Structure 1
C-alpha cells in the first residue's frame, strides 16, 4: 500500500501529514515556528528553522509509525507565500526571510504598481509580495543584494534542501510580481525592474509535476525510498486542492481571522483594479481568483472582547438560520481592507444604532457586515452567479447561522464538510500523489463528504439585496472621513 506525504510550511508551524491510498490520514505531526519582528512593520523568519522543523517532524513520524513512512511514494509541498529567501553563490542564506506580512517595502510596492506591472502580473503589487522586498533590499542592504545568487519562496527553500533542486511552481510564483501570470513564465521585464535576471530565479513546473527526488541521505535517514517531490502549491492553492476546488466554477469560503473567497477558473481574467488576486492554480492550465477581507472571524473576536463573552456565546443564541438583515450596519474594516478597496487606512463603524439596538442586534450586524464584505469579494471576481457552490472552512464555519447568512448574502450554496482534515497539508499530499502516479487531479481531489448544505432562500433575496446596497453606499463616506482624520 502506497502512502503520500504532505508538508505544509505555515508561518506558525510546519505540519506533516501522511495519507494512505484512500487518502485517509495515517499519521500527522506539527512542529511550531517563531516569527521575529525586529522593527515596526517587519516580519522575518530564519530559513534554518524550516529545515529543523521538517527534520523533527519526519523523525517523530518515523519513531511513531516507521511503516507508514517507509510506504511513502510521493511528497507534496505547501507553504506561506510571498516570502523572500535570499541565497548566495553556495546557496547559503544571506539574511532572514522577509515574510508575507512584512510591510517595510510599501514605497517600493507603490513604485512597481503601475499600468505595466498590472498588465504583466494581473495583480496589484502589494507590499507583502516578493518583488518590492528585493527592491527594498537593493536600496537598504546593497551589500546583501549584490551577493544574491538565488531568490526562493519559503517552501521552495525547503524543496532545495529535500531534493537539491532550485525549483518553484506556478501558484506560488504568481504571488511574487515577477510572473507573467497569463503565460505561466517569469517576466524578464518585471525582473529587470528590480535589477534581477531570470538566472536568479528557480525553474518552474506545474504543481502536479515532478520537481525532483528526495536526496539519498534524507531517504536513508527517514527509511523511505528516493521518492518524487511534486511542485506543490502556495498555501491557498494547496488548500483548494484539499477541499476539491480544482474545477472551474468551484470555490471555497474561508472564515478564519481574515476571510478568503477562492474560485477556480479555466481562463485568465484579471481584475487588478478591484484588488482581487488572480493567480495560477496548482492545477495545470487553471487559474484562480481570490478576494480577501482582512477582519472576518477577527470582527467577532473584537466584539467578544468588548462584550466580554466568548465568540460562541455571542453567536450560539442566534440559532441555525438567519432572518432578513437588521437596521444596524457594521463595516468590518478593523485593520483596513483588501478587496475591493485596497485601503490600509480605512476603519470600521457601526451605522444605524438606535435605542432598541441590543446585544443580539449588534452580533447580527457584525456577522452581516462580514458577509457583505465577502459579497464584495464575489462581485470583484465574477459576481453573483459565477459560482453556485462554496465549501466552507475555518473557525467561523462552526456557526450554522453565519453560513446560512453567507448563503443568502452570496446567493449560492454553502457546503459544510463533515469533520476531517481538508487543509493545505492534504492538498499537498494530493499533489504529491498526482506527481507520483500520473493520476487525474479531478479524480484524486474530490470535494470532502458533506455534513450540511445551506441554500439561499428566495423570500429573503430582496431584503438582502437592499441591505447590501445600503452597505455599499457607506464606504465612500467613511473613506472621506478617514482621509480627513
Structure 2
C-alpha cells in the first residue's frame, strides 16, 4: 500500500499511543493521543497489566482523535507492539489471567531442549522466563479449565477486529516459532506444554474493525488493519535502519540493539543474540537489556532530582561503576531483578555522579553488545540512536558516542516504533537520519578508562561461584 495517511498505534509497556502519520510515515504534529500504562509490579518479579484496562486506554486514545476529526482520511492502521507478552483466554473469549509483560520474571525455566544450540538457531530464542516456553506453563498453573494463550496485541485485535490471530513478527517474539520456517516449533510447544490449538494461528492478512467499533469510529470503518509489528523490528524501520549495514540502538523503557537483514544475509547467530522476524522476507538480529530509560527514572526518583535531570559531571568522570541489572538480565542471562550493582561509593559521592554512573553503565553494556553484533556481521555498522530516552537526554547521547568511539546518527523523531509500523504499511523506507552526534576526544578517553574498569568488574560477576 502506498500514499495516504496512516493511523499508527504503539502498544507499549509504559504507555499506549495512537498517532496520525502522513504519506512519508512522519507523525503529524498535534495528532497524538496517549494513555499511561502502569504494570502492577512486586518484588517477587510480577509485572502484569489488566488486558481490559489496556484496551480501554487504547479506546480512549481513538475516541480522542475521533472527536477532533483526526481520523478522517485514514485508510490503513499500523501497529507496533511490545514483544513477549502472554495471557490466558477462557472458552467464552474473556481473559482468564492478567497479561504477563516482558518485565515479569516469576516463571521458572522448564526443562532444557535436547540440543540448546540447535534450539537457539531454529527459534532465535532460548528456554527462558522471558518467553512462552516458561511463561505459558506459569500462567496455566494459576487458571482453571480449558484456556488458549494469546499475546497482548492478539487480544487487542480480537476485541477490536474479532480476529485474535497473531502476526509472523509477534509470533517470533514468543520463543515458540521456527523463525526460518515460519511455523510453530514442535519442540518449543512441547517444552511449553502447549497444543497447537492453544496458540494463535499465524496470519499476516489485514483485517477490518468489528461492526461495534466501526459504528463508534466510522472514519475507520473501511480501513485495513495491517499485521502487528514487534516493537523492536518497528523501531529499526522507523529509525532508517532497514538494511544490514546499520545498527539501531533504541533506548526507551528498556534498551536494545538490532540489525534488520534478509534471510540470505543472516550470519551464524551468536549465543548472546536473539533473532526474530520483521515479516516474511526479513529478519532482525539483536541484543536487549531490561535497563534503559527506566533506570534514569529510577535514579532521579531515588535521588529526589527533577524528572528531566541531566548529570552535571562529564561522561566517564563519575568515579563510580554501575552494572545496570536492577531489573534483571535478558536472556541468555538469568540474573533476577535486584541484581544491579553500584561500585565505588564514598561519603563524597554526589547525586549527579550517581546519576551519571547509572547512564554510563547502560552505554557500556550497549558498546559491549555492539561489538558482539559487528563481529557476527563481519563489518563495522553505522549506528543510529533512537527512542524517547535518548531524545530526551543530550548528555546520554554524548555518552553513547564517546563509549562507542564513533560519530552516531540521531533518529529524526522519538516515535520510531509507530513510524516504523506506518512505513511498513505504506511500503516505503524511512530515510536514515542526518543529525550527527560526534564524540568528544576527552570523553572518549575517559569512557575508555571507565570501560576497562567496568569490564573487569562485569566479567568477574559473570564467573561461576
Q: TM over 0.5: same fold?
A: yes
TM-superposed CA distance for 1:84, in Å, is 1.6
Choose which of 394, 400, 406 in structure 1 pairs with 2:400: 406
The answer as to whether partners of 2:111 and 2:191 remain within 8 angstroms in 1 is no
Equivalence for 1:277: 274
Choose which of 414, 420, 423 in structure 2 pairs with 1:430: 423
The answer as to whether partners of 1:18 and 1:429 remain within 8 angstroms in 2 is no
Q: TM-score, normalized by length of structure 1? A: 0.80
Choose which of 91, 94, 109 in structure 2 pairs with 1:92: 94
The 2-side partners of 1:9 and 1:364 are apart by 30
Q: Which has the higher mean CA deviation after the structures are superposed, 35-44 or 129-138? A: 35-44
The answer as to whether partners of 1:17 and 1:28 remain within 8 angstroms in 2 is yes
The answer as to whether partners of 1:296 and 1:370 remain within 8 angstroms in 2 is yes
Choose which of 265, 271, 294 in structure 1 pairs with 2:290: 294
SS of aligned partner of 2:144:
helix
Q: Which has the higher mean CA deviation after the structures are superposed, 293-302 or 18-27? A: 293-302
The 1-side partners of 2:287 and 2:308 are apart by 26
Seen in structure 2, the aligned counterparts of structure 1 residues 112 and 310 have a Cα distance that, compared at 3 Å, is farther
The answer as to whether partners of 1:245 and 1:447 remain within 8 angstroms in 2 is yes
Asked if 1:378 is matched to 2:370, the reply is yes
Choose which of 319, 329, 332 in structure 1 pairs with 2:324: 332
The answer as to whether partners of 2:321 and 2:357 remain within 8 angstroms in 1 is yes
SS of aligned partner of 2:206:
strand
Asked if 1:387 is matched to 2:384, the reply is no
Q: TM-score, normalized by length of structure 2? A: 0.83
The answer as to whether partners of 1:123 and 1:272 remain within 8 angstroms in 2 is no
Equivalence for 1:471: 454
Choose which of 46, 61, 64 in structure 1 pairs with 2:65: 61
1:290-369 equivalences under 5 Å are: 290-301=286-297, 304=300, 308-310=304-306, 314-316=310-312, 318=314, 329-338=321-330, 341-344=333-336, 346-351=339-344, 365-369=357-361
Equivalence for 1:181: 179
TM-superposed CA distance for 1:69, in Å, is 1.9
TM-superposed CA distance for 1:305, in Å, is 5.4
TM-superposed CA distance for 1:366, in Å, is 4.3
The answer as to whether partners of 2:260 and 2:282 remain within 8 angstroms in 1 is yes
Choose which of 192, 206, 214 in structure 1 pairs with 2:209: 214
The 1-side partners of 2:57 and 2:352 are apart by 44
TM-superposed CA distance for 1:189, in Å, is 2.6
The answer as to whether partners of 1:29 and 1:57 remain within 8 angstroms in 2 is yes
TM-superposed CA distance for 1:372, in Å, is 1.4
Equivalence for 2:410: 416
Consecutive unaligned residues in structure 1, runs of 5 or more: none
The answer as to whether partners of 2:19 and 2:27 remain within 8 angstroms in 1 is no
Choose 1 or 2 for highest CA Rg: 1
The 1-side partners of 2:248 and 2:152 are apart by 24
The 2-side partners of 1:200 and 1:236 are apart by 25
TM-superposed CA distance for 1:187, in Å, is 1.2
